[in-house]
Amino acid sequence: MHPIEVLERYWNHTSFRPLQEEIITSVLYGNDTFALLPTGGGKSVCFQIPALIKPGICIVISPLVALMQDQVNTLKQKGIKAMSISAGLSYSDLDTQLDNCVYGNYKFLYLSPERLQQTLVQERIQRMNVNLIAVDEAHCISQWGNDFRPAYQSISKLRELQPTVNCIALTATAKSKVIDDTMASLDFIDAKIFKGSFVRKNISYQVIKTEDKNYHLEFILNQNKGASIIYARSRKATVNICNYLESKGFEVTFYHGGLTNIQKTERLNLWMNNQKPIMVATTAFGMGIDKADVKSIIHYNLPESLESYYQEAGRAGRNGKSAVAVILKKNVDEDKLKSQFLSTLPSIDVIRYVYKKLCSYFQIPYGEGQNTLHQLNFKTFCHIYQLKKTLTFNALKILDSNSIISLDQRFNFKTTVQFKISNTEIFKYLEQNKSQNKPIKALLRTYGGILDHPTKIDIDLVSTKAEITTKQLLAILKNIEAHNIIDLNIANTDSEITFIKPREDEKTINPIIHIIEQQQQLKKQQIQNVIDYANSESVCKSVQLLNYFDETSTEDCGHCSVCMSNKKNIQEQSTQPIQQNILDLLKEKDRSSRELLHQIQCSQAELLQVLSSLTEDETIVITATNTYKLK
C-alpha cells in the first residue's frame, strides 16, 4: 500500500504536510532517520504510516505517559491494534500483554524508557516481529537537551535486541549539538536527517511590557476573536484568570492537573468545539491536541525555556491563518522566574539527604530495596524530617528522571466521599448541626457528583473553602460518617515511590552528580535566554527564535512587537516636521483640522495620522467645538 493511501484511509487527508512524505519514504527504505518537525508538523504520522505498511509491530519509546495513552486511544478508534505498557502492572499482567504483542497481531507497542530496562520486556521484544523502532521526544537522550533523561540512553539496547531494524528519532525542538549527540547515542548509521523550518510566518510573536496584565489580556482577546490558550504558572492562577475573564463577559474555562478525568474531558470538549473558546491552563495543556484554529497563545508569565515557549506558541495558527503569540511581562517577572526555577533547584547535598531520608522512611536496609513499591504521604514525609516542600519535591523529581526511583505523580490516592442521604435530608441535618454548615456546603458545591458516586476530594481545598484546618475537616468527616450520612475512605498517601536501584547511599548518588550539575547549569542558561528574548527590542522576535534553534535568518518578519515598534518609530521620524508644525500653530490658538491642513504642506491622510497619534499620546485634545488644542 502507498503512504498516501494509508493517509487517506486512516486520517482522511489527501496530502502530506511538509517533509512528512520524504521522512516516511526514508523509513520505508530502511534508513535510520532523524526528523525534527516543529510543533504542529505531524511527527506521529511519520512513524505510524510506515509501521502500518510494513508487516510486524512498531516499538515506540516515549517519556510522556498521557501522550502515549492518547495516541493509543486514537489508533484504536481507527481500528488499529495498539497498546501501551503502563505503570502499576503486576508481573503476570505484564507477561500477558507482552505475549499479546508477540502473538496478537498488534501494530504498535508504546513503552517508557524505564520499562525498556526490564529483563522480561527485553526478552519478549527479542521474540517480536519488530518492523520499526520509533523514539519520540528524542532530545531527551542528549545530555545537552531540554529534559535530559538518563533512562533514554538505554534505548540503544533495542538496537542490540533487534539489530536489523531501522530507527526513527523524532523531536520538535533540538539544537545541532543535541541532534548529533542523539544520533550517536542511538548508533545511527548513514542517517538521513530532515529538519523542518522553525519559521512560522503567520504567527506574530509579541512581548508586551506592562504593569496591568489584565487590561492587555482583554485587549488581545477582543482584537483576536476565536480560540485562545492563556498559559499561567499555577493552578490557582488559572482559576483566578478564568474568573476575571468570566466577570468581563468572556466565554472561558480552565484546565490543570488537579481536575478529575471527567472534568478534563468536559472542558477540553467545550474548548475544542468553541463553546468555551478561551482556555486558561497550565503549560502541560495542548500537548498532542490537534486544534487548527487557535487564534492566540498568551503567556501570562515568562516561560521557563525558549524550547517550551516555541512549542506552546506553535499551537497557534496551524490552519495557516494569522495568529498571535504574546508574552505579558511585568518588571517583577524576571525575579519570579528565577525564584521559581533557580532558587528551588536542590543542591547535591539536599538530593543526598532526601534520598537517605526516603530510605529511612521506608526502612530500606543498605544494599536492598530494588524494585520495591511504597505508598508515600508527601506532606507527612516532609513534616517528619523538617524538609522544605518545593526543594524536596524537586529532589524527588531529579531522582526520578535519573532512574534512582520512580515517582508516580498522578496522586490517585485521594480521600473519597459519597453522601448516602438525599439533598433534603442533608439540609435537615444542617439545621440541627449548624457548626458543620460550611464544610458540608463546601463539599456539595465543589464536587457535583458527590451525591451519586464516591468522589475524590482535595482535603486542603475543602478546608480552605470552609475556613477550617484540615485536621478539623477530617474530624467532621469522621463524625458525619459515624452518623451514617456519608461513605468515607480516607487516603493516607498521595503518591507512589518505586526504588529502581538498591540502596547504596553515596554509591547510588555519586554517578549522577555530574549529570545533575550539568542539567542545572543548562536550566540557568535557559532562564537567561528567556529573559534576553523578552528584553531584546532591537532584533526581530522571529529572527531571535530562529537563531536560537541554529536556523540562520536575517529577514525580519515585519509583524512582531519589535518590527511593529520599528515601523512606528520610522513613521514618527518621517512625520516629525508635520507634528512640530501642528504644535507651533496650536500654541497660537485652537484650530480645526481644516485650518491646520491649509497652513501645513502635507496630505490630509498624513495630517490625520499625526493628529491621531498626538491625541492618543494626550499631547493635544479635541474641544467641544471640534477643534484641537494643546493639553
Write down the CATH superfamily of domain 203-331+536-561. Answer: P-loop containing nucleotide triphosphate hydrolases (3.40.50.300)
Query: Residues with Cβ < 8 Å from 92, sequence gap 6 or more?
Result: none
Question: Is the Cα dihedral 353, 359, 362, 366 positive or negative?
Answer: negative
- Which pLDDT does position 123 carry in this prediction? 92
> How far apart (Å, rounded) are the C-alpha atoms in residues 264 and 290?
16
Length of the chain: 631
Report the alpha-carbon distance of residue 493 to residue 414 in Å, rounded. Answer: 7
pLDDT mean by block of 10 residues, the chain; 631 residues? 92 91 96 89 91 96 80 91 80 88 93 85 93 92 75 84 94 88 91 92 94 92 94 92 95 88 87 96 81 95 93 91 96 92 90 95 92 84 92 91 78 73 87 87 85 81 83 87 86 76 91 88 93 94 93 88 81 77 90 88 81 85 88 81
pLDDT for the residue 413 = 52
Please report the pLDDT score of residue 411 as a whole number. Answer: 44
Alpha carbon of 458 to those of 262, 411, 464, 490: distances in Å? 16, 11, 10, 11
How many other C-beta atoms lie within 10 A of the C-beta of residue 563?
A: 20
Q: What's the pLDDT at 491?
A: 67
Q: What superfamily would CATH give domain 3-195?
A: P-loop containing nucleotide triphosphate hydrolases (3.40.50.300)
Q: What is the rounded CA–CA span in Å between residue 388 and residue 393? A: 9
Task: At 45, list the grid cell.
Answer: 504520522
At 557 the pLDDT is 92
pLDDT of 493 reads 61
> Is the separation of the CB atoms in 374 and 495 below 8 Å?
no
- Yes or no: domain 341-411+495-523 corresponds to CATH 1.10.10.10: yes
CATH architecture of residue range(s) 575-630: Orthogonal Bundle (1.10)
* Res 412: pLDDT: 44
Q: What is the pLDDT of residue 278?
A: 97
Q: At what angle do helices 470-482 and 459-466 cross, to 10 degrees?
A: 100
